[in-house]
Amino acid sequence: MRIPFVAGNWKMNTTVTEAETLVYTMLDQLDNIAGIEIVLCPPFVSLLAINMMLKDFPIKLGAQNMHFELKGAHTGEISPLMLSELCEFVILGHSERRWYFGETDEIVGKKVKAAATNKLKPIFCVGERLEENETGKTKEVISRQITTALADIESVPGLVIAYEPVWAIGTGKAASSEQAADTIGFIRSIVKKIWGKDIAQNLRILYGGSVTSDNIAEFVSQQEIDGALVGGASLKAEEFLGIVKQSAVIKGKSI
Ligand code: PEP
């Protein structure tokens, strides 16, 4: 049984004060949610404050990016060593990093390895662009992204993969749950080829792209889909907790 997983990617939103207020509102409305892993990924500058706020709560923390080197002359970058004191997870290979900041499959692969050797659990994002989807290249692209990043590592403890079609991110046009489940099944088959059946079967694979409290039920009703990586909708406490609660209930967990 895979534990359902919902993560919120706040992107470049919230000052430290706004981040604290958002977390405070979430904690106030949290109720008794159990059996689901919840992760918040605020901007780097808020990690310390939120880490302290979450100490006694069942919500975990993640960063949105990371350099693959441990330290040195990389002005403005944040290293795995710095993050591992503050958070458990790190989003790697998000399409906004790939397409706006030139992160190649090779760079993302180095980051996944650096996370794995520094006790950070990657939320590793893969997904095709619109033209790749429309020309039938989705599986080819995803296969390349996964194989380049994972093929020469033995395993990545705690790894979570997020299938995020680029055309669905921030557009309000989510993939259909059938299409997402089909692609996620394909992702599991690629991981099985690389690491074998046991790891593939236990791996959490999320859907991400315009998830809201109105459409989450369709996604998590699919047996293949273990939860969601949520962008815009994670910036509203009630909306995000609505996504978390529905995911827990539909996956048979208690609230
Ligand atoms: C994301 O940034 O990972 C994402 C899925 O964004 P949104 O939910 O806003 O589409």
What pTM was estimated for this model as a whole?
0.96
Residue nearest ligand 1's atom 1 by CA: 231
Q: CA-to-CA distance for 54 and 146, rounded, in angstroms?
A: 32
Q: Which two tokens stand for residue 225?
A: 């889909």
- Which among 210, 219, 236 is the best mutation to test ligand 1's pocket, defined by most ligand atoms within 8 Å of the CB? 210
Residue nearest ligand 1's atom 3 by CA: 231
Residue nearest ligand 1's atom 8 by CA: 231
How many residues appear in the chain?
A: 255
Closest ligand 1 atom, residue 174 Cα: 10
Catalytic residues: 94, 164
Closest ligand 1 atom, residue 212 Cα: 8
Output the tens digit of pLDDT for each of the chain's 255 residues. 899 999 999 999 999 999 999 999 999 988 778 899 999 999 999 999 999 999 999 999 999 999 999 999 999 999 999 999 999 999 999 999 999 999 999 999 999 999 999 999 999 999 999 999 999 999 999 999 999 999 889 889 999 999 999 999 999 999 999 999 999 999 999 999 999 999 999 999 999 999 999 999 999 999 999 999 999 999 999 999 999 999 999 998 755
Q: Is 150 in the pocket of ligand 1 (CB under 6 A)?
A: no
Cβ 109 vs Cβ 150: under 8 Å: yes
Q: Is 122 in the pocket of ligand 1 (CB under 6 A)?
A: no
